[in-house]
Structure 1
Amino acid sequence: MAGGIEEAAEFSVSRHRRVTEFAPRNSEMALTTLTKRRRYVHFMKFVLPLLALGTVAVLVAWPQLAKRHVALPLTFSEVDTAEAALVMNNPRYRGTDAKDQPYVVTADRAIQDPQDKQQVTMDNVQADLTMNNGAWWSLTADTGLYHGGTKLLNLFGNINVYGDNGYQMHGTSAEVNLNTDELASDEKVWGQSDLGMIRANGLRIRDKGRVIIFINGVNTTILPGKKRG
């Protein structure tokens, strides 16, 4: 019986020690956890309003940013890609004038104008014009600008004009109306025929060569023994 009382006493003492040893530790941990939670709550009270404010600012500013993005001008490369020109190798353009006389315009290369589909810029141009009586004229130039709607052919560079009658003329710029069979130049021109040579500061050719007029400072050289037909 005494032994049982001693064991109960020891158990009571041991339990008292456990409570005494662990109680402070549990209190300290609880206090630490509570402190952390308070700090977290304070932190979120500060951060959440900032996040909300930032979201509202983005929503308000987004339409303005979108407008600015749309209004930005395209760069040259983007415009060039969007308005890509059609390039044609060895093009051939056929047509007839007001008198139903045929002509053919050819080139090594033609680049179509993206803004005007009927206009092309050509390299190494040749235009052949034929009249109903069989007579012909042939024109060549380094570059040319042809418009299918107006039938105007502007020639630039080394221009050469040859006729079946032996006439030949040269210049640096000229405009050819393929509908009316007229050629006009206000630059220096020079040419020759069986009669001799001629220089001037302008030229008009009408009716596919039936009428040739040199203007502005005309200078002629008649070859000896040659007579007008």
Structure 2
Amino acid sequence: MSQEIRRSDFLDVAQDRRRALTPSRARQVPRAEQIARRQRLVQAMKFLMPLLAAGVLALMVFWPDIEGSNSRLSFRRGPALVPEALQLVAPRFQGVDELNRPYTVTARLARQPGQEEVLLMELPRADIQLNDGGWVYVESDRGRYDRATQLLDLEGNVELYHDNGTLFRTEAAAVRVNAGTAHGERPTQAQGSFGTIESEGFEMRDRGAVMIFTGRARAVLEGRQQ
């Protein structure tokens, strides 16, 4: 009898513990109309929030006119965005003159700052074929190439090679690559099998067939022994 009482007491205690662990408030599943009402509220907020922001912005802009001319809102225009220059790595331009003689213009790097056909070049090179099948090769530290006029302005350690062994050195020169002409107004030094010539400038005509030294010139000629 005592064992049955103790067992019943144990069962009562276990039931009391279950009741204590049972949540005091059961979770309610929202009904379909409640879910639809919440969705309509979210959609309305998505529409109203941009309108509210636009209204606040408009109020900030037009408030000085509404309040009066004593307090006016001012804005400062920031710097305009300028597109970066077009940059070309190892560009190569080829063409032919009116007699179908080819020429080539290359560089290590070129930048096109605007919409014009003008390129600012680093280490530009030009290779021009001559009338007799020879060639003239010119290079410098930097240059400006106008593709419309085929004019190549060179500056900095300008060197012009003629395939007959003549070398010209100057600091600035202008080369018309399609015509095969060049000229410079800086001190020029030429050396070859004839010796050396120093002048105040130079001019190349007829695709290298004629070379003219301008200004004061000094020549040291090397004669051949008989």
TM-score interval (norm. to shorter): 0.5 to 0.7
Secondary structure of 1:218's counterpart equals strand
User: Does the aligned pair in 2 maintain the 1:195–1:226 contact within 8 Å?
Assistant: no
Say which of 75, 79, 88 aligns to 1:74. 79
User: Does the aligned pair in 2 maintain the 1:84–1:114 contact within 8 Å?
Assistant: no
Cα distance between partner residues in 2 of 1:159 and 1:226: 33
1:73 CA drift (Å) = 6.2
> For each residue in 1:105-132, what CA deviation from the matched residue of structure 2 results, as whole angstroms up to 9, or x when unmatched?
111100012242x110111111111135
Secondary structure of 2:141's counterpart equals strand
The aligned counterpart of 1:91 is 91
Distance 1:61 1:182, change over 3 A: farther
Distance 1:184 1:61, change over 3 A: farther
The aligned counterpart of 1:111 is 111
Cα distance between partner residues in 2 of 1:209 and 1:147: 21
The aligned counterpart of 2:126 is 127
Say which of 64, 68, 80 aligns to 1:57. 64
Distance 1:195 1:114, change over 3 A: same
The aligned counterpart of 1:101 is 101
Q: Which runs of 5+ in 1 are unaligned?
A: 1-54
Cα distance between partner residues in 2 of 1:171 and 1:110: 22
Distance 1:132 1:182, change over 3 A: closer
Q: Which runs of 5+ in 2 are unaligned?
A: 1-61
Q: Which has the higher helix share?
A: 1
The aligned counterpart of 2:173 is 174
User: Does the aligned pair in 1 maintain the 2:126–2:177 contact within 8 Å?
Assistant: no
Count of residue pairs the alignment pairs up: 164
Structure 2 length as normaliser, TM-score? 0.66
Which amino acid in 1 is paired with 2:106?
T
Please tell me whether residue 208 in structure 1 is matched to residue 204 in structure 2. no
Distance 1:115 1:216, change over 3 A: same
Which amino acid in 1 is paired with 2:180?
D
Secondary structure of 1:216's counterpart equals strand
Structure 1 length as normaliser, TM-score? 0.65
